Amino acid sequence: MAMNVKTDNTRKKKRYVIYTRCSTDDQAQGDFTTLDAQTYHCRNLLDAFGHELADIGNKGVVKDDGYSGKDLNRPGIQMIIDHVRRKTAAFDGIIFFRLDRLTRNTRDLYWLIDLFNSKEIAFVSVRENLDSSTAIGRVVIGILGILSAFERELIGERVKASCVARVRQGRWVGGNVPFGYKLIPDGAPLPNGRQPHKIIVDPETGNKLRFIWEMAANNKSLYDIGQELIRRGIKTPTGKVWRKQSIAWIIKNQFHKGYIKYGKEIHKGTHPAIVDEELWLKANRVLTAKLPGHRFIKQTPEYIYLLAGLLKCGECGSHYVCESGNGQAAEKFFYYVCGRSKQKLGCDVSRFSARGFDEALIDYFKRASTDQDIIVKAIGDAILDSQIKLEALEKMMKPLQEKLEETKQEANRLLELAMDNRISQGKTYKDKMARLDEEIVRLEDELEKLQAKKNVAQMSASSGQFLHSNLRFAMQYIEKAPPEAQKSLIQAMIKEIVVYKDYIEIKMYIDQPTVDSISCSLPAPETQKAPKNDKRPAGDACKALVTVSNARSSPERQGWLPRMDSNHDSKIQNLESYH
C-alpha cells in the first residue's frame, strides 16, 4: 500500500537553557574553566541545530560551581526545577555536557526524566548524544522510564516492608502527624545522630476535639461541625478555613481511637487515644450511611487505558474515546469507541474491548522481544536516514578539512620565511597572517559544528544493536511493568494507530507506518452480559466481543487482518489474540 508521508518543514526555534556543574571551586576559577568548556560544547551543538538560548540565568547559562552531583541540593538545578514545576519555564529544553553533570544519582536521574517528560521539557546530553526531542531519543527515554518504574517498585517494596514492621509494633511510620497530636523528642539521640520521637496528645487542641465525634454521632452535618470548630476558635493546622473533606478525614481516621493503619494492616498503637472506640464507631456508622451532608466518595481510576489518545478511526478519521459499562453481574467492561460513532454522527464502526486490545498489543511487544526482525523493521528507516545524513556530512567535511590543512600549511610557510628573515615582517606580512588566522578560525568553527551533527548521526546510525538490546529488555518485561510504565513506553514508541475494519496501521515515531493484524476478543458470551446502560439496538453481537474459539472458526469473527499488497513486507508478523 502506498503511503503519503507529509513533512513539516516550518520548524520553530526551540529555546534551551545550558546547565553546567563542577564539584570544586578550583575548577571554576581561571580564564577558561571547566564550566566554560561545558558551555562551549553545549553552545556549539545548539548552533549546529539552529536552536537558541533562553532568557534565564546568565544569558541562558545556569551554573553550579563547587557543588557535588550526589544529590539535587544545588541552587542552579533547583531554580530550573522550580521553573518547570510552576509551569513558568521560559525555555523548551535543557542541555548539558554529560549526564553526570546533571546528576550522579540514578534515582535523581529517573525523577528528573519523569518531571521533564510530564512538563514536555526536552533535554539533551552532548557526550551521550541523548536528545528527547528526537525519535530514537524518545524510545531511549521510554526505556529509562520502564527502568525507573522497576526501581520505584523495588524501593516501594522495601519501604512497605519496613512500614509494615513498624505498624505491627504499634509505632508511627512517619509523615504528617494527625490533627490533635504532636511529636516530642524521646530520649537521647542515636549513634547515627538521629533523634527518636514519640507522639503525644497536643495539649492545645487534642483534648478539645471529642465533640467532633459526638456531633457526627448525633447526625450533625459536616458543615455544622465546621461552624462549631470556628465558634470554639479551633483552627486548622495551616490556619485556613475548615473544609468538609478535612473534617470527614478526622472523623474517619482510626489514629484518633488509638490505632495505626498502613495499607490493609491495622494494629493497636502505642500513642494515647482522643476518642473511645464505641463513640468512634457510632460516628462513622452515621457518616458512612450517606445521609445528607455526609456524601463524600473518593473516585479512583478503575482501569488505565494504555492506548488512550493513540487510536484513530480509519473510516471517518475521528479519534477513539474511552468508555465503560456495567454488566448484569456487576462486572465492569471497558471499551474503545469511535468518537463520531458514539455520537451517531455518520460512522457505524463498532466499539471493541479495551482490555483485549491492550493485552494483544502488550503480547505483540512481548513476542517482538524475541524476534529481531520486528525491532529492526521498527528502527530500520531511522537508522538508514541517519546513515545517509552521516555520509552527507562526511562529504561536506572532507573539503573543509583539506582547506583547513592547506591554510595551516600556508600560514606555517609564511611564518618560517619570516623567522628566517627571508621576507619582511611589515604591514603586508601582518595583514596576510591575520587573514590566514581568520580563515583558520572560521574553518575550525564550521568543522566543529559539522562534527557535532556527525556525532549525533553516527550515534543514531550505529545504535541498532544498542536499541535492539534495550528494546528487547523493555519489551520482554513490559507485561510485568505497572500500567503507567506500560503506557509510557507505548506512547514513546507509537505515534498513532489507525483502526480499519479489516486491519490496523501502526505509525511509529521512528518508522514508516507498519501494517499488521491483531485479534481482539473477550470472554465467552455466556459470562459476558450486555451492559445495563447499553442502549444500542439488539441484533448481531459486536464482532469485537467474540470468543477465541469462535474467532478462529467463524467467518463473522472480528479479525484485524493484514491487507496485502505489492509493497507489503512478507515478514510482517501476525498479532494473535493474547491469552
What string of DSSP letters covers 425-453? -SHHHHHHHHHHHHHHHHHHHHHHHHHHH
Asked, for residue 174, whether it belongs to a domain, the answer is no
User: Which DSSP state fits 494?
Assistant: E
The reply to whether 558 and 460 lie within a common domain is: yes
Among the three residues 71, 100, 133, which one is the final residue of a domain in this structure?
133
Distances (CA, A) of 16 to 12, 19, 68, 96: 13, 9, 23, 10
Q: Write out the three cell numbers for 423.
A: 621576507
Does 365 share its domain with 254? no
Last residue of a domain, one of 235, 254, 287: 287
Average pLDDT (504-528) is 51
> Which is higher by pLDDT, 161 or 154?
161
The boundaries of the domain holding residue 270 are 181-287
197 part of a folded domain: yes
**What is the model's pTM?**
0.39
Assess whether 562 and 486 both reside in one domain: yes
Q: Could you tell me how many residues make up the chain?
A: 579
Please tell me the predicted confidence (pLDDT) of residue 382: 57
3-state SS, residue 464: helix
Residue positions annotated with a catalytic role: 23
Average pLDDT, the chain: 75
User: Residue 542 carries which DSSP code?
Assistant: P
Helix, strand, coil percentages for the chain (3-state, nearest 5): 45, 15, 40
User: What percent of the chain shows pLDDT beyond 90?
Assistant: 10
**What band does 377 get if pLDDT is binned at 50, 70 and 90?**
low
CATH number of the domain at 83, please: 3.40.50.1390
Residues 512 and 450 in one domain: yes
Do 350 and 471 belong to one domain?
Answer: yes
The total number of structural domains that make up the chain? 3
Radius of gyration over every alpha carbon of the chain, rounded to an integer in angstroms:
32
User: Which residues, in sequence order, are bridge partners of residue 63?
Assistant: 20
Q: What is the pLDDT of residue 510?
A: 56
Residues 394 and 350 both lie in one domain: yes
The predicted pLDDT at position 114 comes to 80
Residues 428, 568 share a domain? yes
Q: Are residues 218 and 93 in the same domain?
A: no
**Same domain for 468 and 519:** yes
User: Which amino acid is residue 536, in one-letter code?
Assistant: R
Residue 396, pLDDT > 60, answer yes
Q: Both 371 and 499 in a single domain?
A: yes
- If you average pLDDT over residues 212-228, what whole number do you get? 89
* Comparison of pLDDT for 460 and 480, the residue scoring more: 480
Cα 36 to Cα 79, 86, 93: the distances in Å are: 20, 29, 20
For 83-136, write each residue's pLDDT tens digit: 898 877 788 899 998 888 888 777 788 788 888 888 888 888 888 777 877 767
Looking up residue 191, the CATH number of its domain turns out to be 3.90.1750.20
* pLDDT value of position 551: 31
Strands (E), 514-571: 514-518
- The DSSP element (H or E) to which 552 belongs, if any, is helix 548-553
Asked if 327 and 233 sit in the same domain, the reply is no
One domain, residues 442 and 565:
yes
Cα–Cα distance for residue pair 227/232, rounded to 1 Å: 9
Record the cell numbers describing residue 316, joined without a space.
471517518
Distance CA 172, CA 269 (A): 8
Contacts with 332 (C-beta within 8 Å, 6 or more apart), sequence order: 302, 303, 324, 325, 326
Give residue 143's pLDDT: 72
Question: Which of 266, 287, 308 is the endpoint of a domain?
Answer: 287
Grid cell digits, residue 327: 454488566
Whether 167 maps to a domain, the answer reads no
